[in-house]
Amino acid sequence: MLLKEVIVGSCVYALLKSYSEGIPIVLVEHKSPPVDMRFDHPVRIETLNTLEVSDAWSMLKFLCSMRGLIVNPDTIDSLRIEKSNIGSRNIRIQFEECHLFPTQTVRTDLDISKVEHEDLYKTMDFMRLKFCNVTNIDTIFPKESFIKLIRCFGKKEVVAVCNLSREQLTNFDYSDTIVRFASQKELLKDERLHRPITRGESRRNPNLEVIERKVISLKEVVYRSSRKVKYYDRQKRDDILKTYRRDNSSIQSPI
């Protein structure tokens, strides 16, 4: 396949560039961003107005698919970018210009500028609440805890998000058990928590059950751009949003 321009990436920024400029995209991972990610202000894409990055990602993926911009129908386990070629088991692309966004499974012959957050991981502890109700709670930001934030969904679903080092991942003091206890404590302090009254007319305490812990590496290898491949670091990704806020009437708010 010969393409004048192509985007390689999986993040909302990559899809936003594809959607706004009509550039074909190799969507390396067909998996939406983690549920804890949010925009600083609501973003409007076509008929969607949302704070949730995952919602914006899904809408952009749908719109790009409808326009025939997504090159690959499924997730790609391994991808190589070398000189002016993109290759995987099922894809062979020659390009004049490639826009490369951070992706864990992509290998390239570009020079490495630096490695960011090499020893940092995001943990997401998904929990289910017994007895109490978190309908009125959206997000809790603990002040005296290693937990970054606690997000609540529906009546009973809770997820606690932490940024941990490799060493902390194997330390019991940062385990899902400790996160569960700390999250229960934070919920108990929150006046928005609905606590039903027992037969003895005392209110129930929140009791969480850990369903799953997900661990996501936050490592980013920052590459030096070449004549044909442009790498999008954090600043360039932010610039995309600023430019589209200014130029694209359907996208009105920044991340």
Confidence of residue 3 (pLDDT cuts 50, 70, 90): very high
Give residue 255's pLDDT band: very low, low, confident or very high (50, 70, 90): very low
Q: Among residues 132, 143, 180, which one has the least CA distance to residue 160?
A: 180
Are 42 and 109 found together in one domain?
yes
Domain shared by 39 and 93, yes or no: yes
Euclidean distance between CA atoms 167 and 89, whole angstroms: 36
Residue 28 structural domain? 2-116+220-247
Same domain, 64 and 162: no
Is the distance from CB of 228 to CB of 97 less than 8 angstroms? Answer: yes
Pull the structure tokens for residue 140.
């809790």
Q: Are residue 54 and residue 149 in the same domain, yes or no? A: no
Let me know if residue 253 belongs to a domain.
Answer: no
Backbone angles phi, psi at 138, to 5 degrees: -100, -65
- Residue 117 CA from chain centroid, whole number: 16
Q: What is the pLDDT of residues 145-199, one digit of tens each?
A: 999 999 999 999 999 999 999 999 999 999 999 999 999 999 999 999 998 887 6
Shared domain check, 46 and 149:
no
Residue 238 within a domain: yes
Q: Clarify whether residues 107 and 231 are in a common domain.
A: yes
pLDDT confidence band for 252 (50 / 70 / 90) = very low
Mean pLDDT of 130-135: 91
Q: How far apart are CA 31 and CA 93, in angstroms?
A: 22
Percentage of the chain beyond pLDDT 70 is: 96
**Structural domain includes residue 129:** yes
31-57 b/e with 16+ CB inside 10 Å = b?
ebbebbbbbeeebebeebebbbbbbbb
Beta-carbon count within 10 A of 167 CB: 9
Is 225 in the same domain as 111? yes
Do 132 and 61 fall within a single domain? Answer: no
Q: How many CB atoms lie within 10 A of CB 255?
A: 20
CA–CA gap between residue 156 and residue 43 (Å, rounded)? 27
| pLDDT at residue 201, rounded to an integer | 65
- Please, what is the average pLDDT of the chain? 92
On whether both 189 and 212 belong to a single domain, the answer is yes
Per-residue pLDDT band for 131 (boundaries 50, 70, 90) equals confident
- What is the distance between the terminal CA atoms of the chain, rounded to a whole angstrom? 34
Same domain (yes/no): 135, 101: no
Same domain assignment for residues 190 and 242: no
User: pLDDT class for 250, splitting at 50, 70, 90?
Assistant: very low
C-alpha 163/C-alpha 21 separation (Å) is 34
Instruction: Kindly report, residue by residue over 47-91, the tens digit of the pLDDT.
Output: 888 889 999 999 999 999 999 999 999 999 999 999 999 999 889
- Flag whether 40 is in a domain: yes
Which pLDDT tens digit goes with each residue over 232-244? 999 999 898 878 7
For position 251, what pLDDT does the model report? 46
CATH of the domain at 83: 3.50.50.60
In SS3 terms, 11-46 reads as: CHHHHHHHHHHCCCEEECCCCCCCCCCEEEEEEEEC
Same domain, 127 and 112: no
Average of per-residue pLDDT across 11-22: 95
Count of domains for the chain:
2
Write out pLDDT tens, residues 100-127.
Answer: 999 988 999 999 999 999 999 999 999 9
